[in-house]
Chains A and B, each alone.
Chain A
Amino acid sequence: MTLLTFPKLFAKPRSAEVVRPERKLRIGIPRVLNMWSTHRFWTTFFVELGVNRRSVVYSSETSEARQREFGQGRAAVDCCYPVKCMTGHYGELLHGLKKPINVLFSPKITTLPSILQGEVRNTMSCPRVLAGAESTKAGFLREGNAFADAGVIYVDPVVHLDEPKLAARELFEALDPVLEDLTPEEVEAAIEAGFAALEEFDTSLRKQSLNVLRNCAADSRPAVLALGRPYHMDPGIGHGIATELQEAGYPVLWGQYLPLEEDLLDWLYRDLLSAGRIRTPFDISDIWPSSHSSNTNELLWAARYASLMPWIACVIRFSSYECGMDQPTYTPVQETVEALGTLFFAFQDLDATNPAGSVRIRVETIDYYLKRRAQKIIEQKLAALDTPPESFSNLGSIKDAAQ
């Protein structure tokens, strides 16, 4: 996925053709944390429940200015910025929209759907991410009820997105008092539609990533992998670092949307599979056995993918200040990425302030190293693998590189 797709990320899905009861409510959703990887599910979910698609509104991207305007004095505790900035998003939804909302919906997503489900111990959210809504809510309740004062109903259900039936129960219980005449069956159907929309969206982005890689292969050009948590796609959290790299001429892929074509995975993981080091291409037990956290698991998985994929010549790692989930992964991720020579650069301790000047200098450094080393990295990674699958091997440059 490239940054050019960002405007599409939170775009409204196409309308379904089924007739559903209309519910004249405006739902406000904070554009934070794991909403960055599940937003399509939530939009579709509410539309399926009869909420007008224009009435499902997200807060803006994170920015210092917005945080100052809407979040000032609301933070209840000092913690990582992705959680701390939630106050600004809540504030904007309560006080910053031209057309007010009726419901502020901030799900505490406890577990996530994951491509690694079944191969890992669990797919949990970070403890701060899943409980961020509790801490943020407190900032709006400690001196009176800011939600009630704004005429907004606050709904923050615990949701297990890795268990659709449980999620349906949780969401029905949370929304039943809010949406008139709601039935469990409706919620179940909406959840099904939500997951279908999410899968369709993810698949389309994976296809785009595949095209990027194929183009890179055809031209023997390097791509860069952005390795971070979903919310690092937020320009206010990831500080547009990936955009800077794109401006320097490098296609940027995100670890969340790497292509999963069977022949491609078989090619990349063949040696590890045949040696019995892993059971499937999604098995990470040899590099990350404490695989409880969904985003951490996928981070490690993407790190290995990048280490093997020849045209990903460089990985940039995002990590927010005080991220306790990232901290134990610093060394394993770096050593995984660098195993076959892939360049690794880390942007750690990202916080509210956008360090634009230092980012530019780092990007120039990355550009310098890529210009010097990318071709060699591609060649040596190709040499370490078998013949690429047909979808890649018929691209001229690979034959040249292999020679």
Chain B
Amino acid sequence: MNKVLQDSYQTYRPRPFKKDERENVTLLFGGLTWRAERALVGLFEGAGYKAESLPPATRSDLLFGRSLVDVGQCCPTAFTTGNLARTLKDKADKIGPDRVADEYVFVTAGACGACRFGQYHYSYELALRNIGMEAFRLFLVEQHEIDQSKDDDEGFQTDTHLLLGAILSVMMTDVIQDLEYQIRPYEVEFGATDAAIKKAVEDIYDAVRNRPQNKGKLGTILWHLTTDHYAKALRKAKSHFEGIKLDRLRIKPKVKITGEFYVSTVEGDANHSIHAWLEQEGAEVLPAPVAVWFDYLMRFARRKQQDRIGIHKGARKKQLMIELARRLYRGRYHSLCKALGDIPRHLPDQNELARLAQPFYDNRLNGGEGDLLVGKALYAHLHKVAHMVCELSPYGCLPNTMSIGAMAAAQGKYPDLLYAPLEIKGDSEVHVISRCQMVLTEAKARARSEFDAALKAAGLTLEEARARYEAHPEMHDPFWQVPKRGAVGTAANVVLELGGASL
């Protein structure tokens, strides 16, 4: 071969994964919550694949990931790369690298744009080389395309049916997680919520696994828009939480989690188990639903078309189509909330998020979460959703650092906003926790003074409020709607309800 051709660098190209291999090949994937991953295993199995989610990423994965790829990666890259490499190595130790290369493939999202997330696979590829598993196959699923079905012979088909199923799976696990996080801090019997969520997620897994087969592109869209299949599964899941008794008079600051997609959604070493830590410290945590991210992507795509009306042919039509899809998407999410007694919070209004963020971060800037984090922080503060915003930003995250910088002006304008941007490196737990602790202390004080103000407004003493609460068993029920009476905290709103007052 010619020297130029022989010696020139070429990027990694995986061997094809053929349809007839499906029976013997397991899809590996990861990077989501355990609930979503379990649901997606069901989705893949239902579609005829063998599937397995990667184990939760640990700190040793982080260190392993760092040792395998070029220096300076952002923390999610190091975690996910190390996690994949460790898993493959463990498997290779048991069955040998050749069998791992033949019997497993890894599927991940790619191409979110110029953010490094769209280039994760270079790290994966380098890691594969460095553990001697270049023959292993990894495939990217494009984030901005719904139907990516390839020719019939391809082993992995990301068609409309699969992708809509994936979206609904994530929605279901989002709403069940939101329910879980609203119940656990107030459960009277310790561990009751954790036991319920495990059973509930299995119901979701069953429902996703046993959904009807593909009905063609249009058929599957219509089915996903109209079916009661998913809501029915959630109603069944709901039954596991019924009967859990809650003490809603516990004074807890509400802490909204936002941040970069990976570190804000997973629960484990990758974010120092911040969700669990906050709950242990007495907070009610508002986790970050993945569904808000998809809603944001559609809002961004709509704006992109809106800006091009009169310039690009068909931009107006595209804008309308995207907005229609977005509304249907939100409607579907809210119908799933209803299946859980409408306890899970609805998706925030994206237009409002954009409006709030615009003076500080232009909503046409892309990359990562764009203006979303600024919008969410201000929304949580101004709409009395949370006492405190905890923004988890990975070390080295390109877009997040810029929106955190922009928040300096927002904090100047809203000095009462309790905002804790936490840089997550994966190996600096004490630093992260102590920084969070400082702001949480202030949030606790705020929740306490709000509660005292609620007692005063309701004309009740604590004892009187307690006595009235005990006399209302429906308020102990996880599916009782806590009315919004002008307070942020659950306990304060309950007291206001008991006294028929508002703040």
Among A124, A127, A304, A325, chain B packs the most CB atoms within 10 A around the CB of A127
Known: A110-B364, A137-B409, A166-B311. A289 touches B402 (CB 8 A): no
**Does A328 lie at the interface of the complex (its beta carbon under 8 Å from any beta carbon of B)?**
yes
Are B122 and A290 touching (Cβ within 8 A)?
yes
Are B408 and A328 touching (Cβ within 8 A)?
no
Are A122 and B71 touching (Cβ within 8 A)?
no
Are B122 and A134 touching (Cβ within 8 A)?
no
Within 8 A of B (CB), among A356-385: 383-385
> Residue A324 contacts which of B74, B111, B307 (CB distance < 8 angstroms)?
B74
Cα distance A24–B73 in the bound complex, in angstroms: 48
> Residue A110 contacts which of B365, B402, B410 (CB distance < 8 angstroms)?
B365
Encoded as 1 (CB less than 8 Å from any A CB) or 0, chain B from 122 to 142 comes to 110010000000000000000
Encoded as 1 (CB less than 8 Å from any A CB) or 0, chain B from 375 to 407 comes to 000000000000000000000111101111111
Are B408 and A131 touching (Cβ within 8 A)?
no
Please name all residues of chain B whose beta carbon is closer than 8 Å to the beta carbon of A331 when the two chains form the complex.
70, 122, 126
Closest to A296 in B: B114
> Residue A335 contacts which of B3, B9, B120 (CB distance < 8 angstroms)?
B9
Are B10 and A286 touching (Cβ within 8 A)?
yes
**Does B367 lie at the interface of the complex (its beta carbon under 8 Å from any beta carbon of A)?**
yes
B402 smallest CB distance to A (angstroms):
4
> Residue A135 contacts which of B3, B73, B307, B401 (CB distance < 8 angstroms)?
B401
Are A77 and B408 touching (Cβ within 8 A)?
yes
Within 8 A of B (CB), among A37-78: 75-78
Please name all residues of chain A whose beta carbon is closer than 8 Å to the beta carbon of B116 when the two chains form the complex.
324-325, 327-328
**Does B93 lie at the interface of the complex (its beta carbon under 8 Å from any beta carbon of A)?**
no
**Does B5 lie at the interface of the complex (its beta carbon under 8 Å from any beta carbon of A)?**
yes
Please name all residues of chain A whose beta carbon is closer than 8 Å to the beta carbon of B404 when the two chains form the complex.
76-77, 135
> Residue A290 contacts which of B4, B5, B121, B406 (CB distance < 8 angstroms)?
B121
> Residue A336 contacts which of B9, B114, B364, B411 (CB distance < 8 angstroms)?
B9
Number of interface residues of A (CB under 8 A): 68
**Does B79 lie at the interface of the complex (its beta carbon under 8 Å from any beta carbon of A)?**
no
Among A76, A83, A385, chain B packs the most CB atoms within 10 A around the CB of A76
Known: A131-B399, A271-B4. A124 touches B113 (CB 8 A): yes
Are A272 and B8 touching (Cβ within 8 A)?
yes
Are B398 and A121 touching (Cβ within 8 A)?
no
Are B11 and A287 touching (Cβ within 8 A)?
yes
Are A128 and B307 touching (Cβ within 8 A)?
no
**Does B72 lie at the interface of the complex (its beta carbon under 8 Å from any beta carbon of A)?**
yes
**Does A263 lie at the interface of the complex (its beta carbon under 8 Å from any beta carbon of B)?**
no
**Does B24 lie at the interface of the complex (its beta carbon under 8 Å from any beta carbon of A)?**
no
Please name all residues of chain B whose beta carbon is closer than 8 Å to the beta carbon of A384 when the two chains form the complex.
2-4, 7
Please name all residues of chain A whose beta carbon is closer than 8 Å to the beta carbon of B10 when the two chains form the complex.
277, 286-287
Cα distance A138–B419 in the bound complex, in angstroms: 15
Closest to B363 in A: A158
**Does A142 lie at the interface of the complex (its beta carbon under 8 Å from any beta carbon of B)?**
yes
Are B114 and A289 touching (Cβ within 8 A)?
no
Cα distance A154–B441 in the bound complex, in angstroms: 38
Please name all residues of chain A whose beta carbon is closer than 8 Å to the beta carbon of B397 when the two chains form the complex.
324
Within 8 A of A (CB), among B337-376: 360-362, 364-368
Are B405 and A327 touching (Cβ within 8 A)?
no
**Does B308 lie at the interface of the complex (its beta carbon under 8 Å from any beta carbon of A)?**
yes
Known: A127-B367, A290-B122. A327 touches B73 (CB 8 A): yes
Chain B residues proximal to chain A, CB less than 8 Å: 2-5, 7-11, 70-74, 110-111, 113-116, 118-123, 126, 307-308, 311, 360-362, 364-368, 396-399, 401-412
Q: List 26 A-B contacts (CB under 8 A).
A: A124-B114, A127-B399, A127-B402, A131-B362, A131-B367, A134-B402, A135-B408, A138-B405, A138-B412, A141-B409, A141-B412, A272-B5, A287-B9, A287-B11, A289-B11, A324-B74, A325-B114, A325-B398, A327-B396, A328-B123, A331-B70, A332-B11, A335-B9, A339-B8, A340-B8, A385-B4
Listed from nearest, the 8 A-B pairs whose CB atoms lie closest are A135-B405, A127-B367, A142-B412, A77-B405, A138-B409, A131-B402, A76-B408, A76-B405
